[in-house]
Structure formats: structure tokens, C-alpha cells
Amino acid sequence: MSLLVTGSIGIDTVKTPYGVSENCLGGAAVYFSMAASFFSPVRFVGVIGSDCPFDLEQVFAGRDVDLAGLEVRAQSKTFRWTGTYHEDMDDRTTDCVELNVLAEAPPAVPESFRDSEFVFLANTAPKLQLELLKQIREPVFVAADTMNLWIQDCLDDLKVLLKKIDCLVINEDEVRMLACEHNLIKAARMILDMGPLVIIVKKGKSGSLLCSAAGEKFLLPAYPADNVRDPTGAGDSFAGGFMGYLAQKGETNYETLKAAVAYGTVTASFAINDFSLKGLEAINKSDIEERLEVLRQITRF
């Protein structure tokens, strides 16, 4: 089934204990699309300024990523993010953000994308996520990400969004903040009461937790990586693998959701192997399948 993503395209500068990557390509929609394209064609909606040094056609060459929803605004500047990861690679400091074009109106969803069935609304203001979602006629399964800033500043909009999506994909700190509850299981249940049918809690190197409104749970450790060089984009690569697999299967029952979490986990484990998109660019689908089997083996008893 068709899969659409809306989200950021960024010029990132990333420092980790293993090196520095200056002015490299990043952004949630970019990581998501690269990850999802291993499983399913992707429809891409995002906006850049005229200063963007990257040719996305070339970045996605050989992958089934439709860039009809890529808008270039001549008078605007591209989103920029600079961050530093510390020794505990789950822990990062944002040194500098220039929202630039992300502070403007969102891009339009092209007419040819409006029949999309699977939709991922990457992190942005919930009001913009709602505006983007309104342009999709009859989505089958909508997932969204959010962040601490919107939980603090735009809670009412976020609560409206939560009633319109099927799945929230969110970090553990944000789960606690949104639910005002420290215990993750309780907090997840409280968020399910706000609307979504499924919540996926991303816990970094501690793995992930899926809870459904029907009471189902799934817990998966992260892949035991011994070569993490740059965690940027891990969450969006996870979401890309997850949604890509669901769109490929065209269903969202419990067994498929569990497998999708596992594919998301494995895809993210490659993304963090190297800076920017290099980790995902270096692999093919059979690498993902191989690592999935390892993950199955080392988590089964």
C-alpha cells in the first residue's frame, strides 16, 4: 500500500565522541524515507530553501522515493541543526537550531499523494501535522512523532492530533512528560486513553515498547551494537523501517505490528553505524533480513 511521509529536511552538524560531520544531510523525512524505501515505495513531502546544497534526486537515486512533494522556496533558507552527543550516546545537546523554512507554512501535499493509505507525520508543530493530515483523503493508518517542545507549548493542538492518529511513536522522556507519570506502562496506557490505538515508546539503547488500546504489549531490546558512531536519525530510521514494513504488508494486526517494530529496530541499528545517511546507504535488504534473524535468535528463549 502507499506510504507518505511529511517532515524535515535538514543541514546537520553533528559532533560525537567518534568524530564531527559538518553540514551533512539530515532531517526526519530524509532518514525516514531512506529507511522505509527498503520495504515500500515512499511519497515524500518536505520543504527546503534555495541554499540547500543537496540534490535529493541524487540522494535517493535507485530507491523508490517519489519527490513530487518536495518544495523549494526561493526566498527561504533550509532548516539547520547542530548537536553534540556525549559518551552515553542516548544523551545529546542541541547546540544550535535555525528553523528557517520550517517556521513558515507547511508544504502542500500534491494531488497525486492525497490518496495515500499509510501516513507518517514526522515531528513538527501539531497544528502543522493536522494541516498536512487534512489533505489526505482516507488514510488507513496514520502514525506521528512529537517532542517535548510541543508537549509544553501546544498541548491542546497535540490532544486534537492524538484523536486523529492511529499510532504515536515517541521517546520515553516525552511519554513521561505527556502523561505526567513516571512508570512507562502506566504512562503509555494514559496516552492510549487520549486517542491513538497504538503507542510505540522509543527507549534508545534500551529498545522499544509497543502498547495497544486492546491491551497488547511488545517489548524488544535494541540490537546490541558495538559500533555506534552517530545516533542522529535513529528514531526516524526506526519509524521508517516500522511504517515501511506495515505498508509493504498492508495490514496492522498485532503480529504484523510486532514484526514491524523488529524491522524498525534493525534498520535503526544500521543508521547509527556511521555519520549522516552513510550507515543506511551502505546496506541492502538482505543485511536487514540477516540482522533480523540474529535479533530473533538472541531474544528468544
> By the criterion CB under 8 A, which residues form the site for its own copies?
87-88, 182-186, 189, 203, 206-207, 209, 217-221, 224-226, 228, 255, 258-259, 261-262, 296, 298-301
Q: Which is nearer to its own copies, 79 or 218 (CB)?
A: 218
CB of 183 to its own copies, least distance (A): 6
**Residue 53: is it exposed, middle or buried by C-beta count within 10 angstroms (0-12/13-18/19+)?**
exposed
Distance CA 222, CA 232 (A): 15
- Min. distance of Cβ 202 from its own copies in angstroms? 13
Give the shortest CB-290-to-its own copies separation in angstroms. 15
Q: How far is the CB of 238 from its own copies (least distance, A)?
A: 15
Cβ pair 257, 218 in contact under 8 A? yes
Using CA atoms, how far residue 46 sits from 28, 49, 79, 112, 282, in Å, is: 10, 11, 11, 15, 24
Nearer CB in complex with its own copies: 247/261? 261
Kindly tell me which of 111 and 226 has the beta carbon lying closer to its own copies: 226
Residue burial 76-109, b: 16+ Cβ < 10 Å; e: rest? bbbbbbbbebeeebbebeeeeeeebbbeeebbeb
Q: How far apart are CB 263 and its own copies at their closest, in Å? A: 9
**Looking at beta carbons only, is 125 or 228 nearer to its own copies?**
228
Q: Of the two residues 42 and 199, which places its CB atom closer to its own copies in the complex?
A: 199
* Residue whose C-alpha is closest to residue 80's, from 95, 60, 58: 95
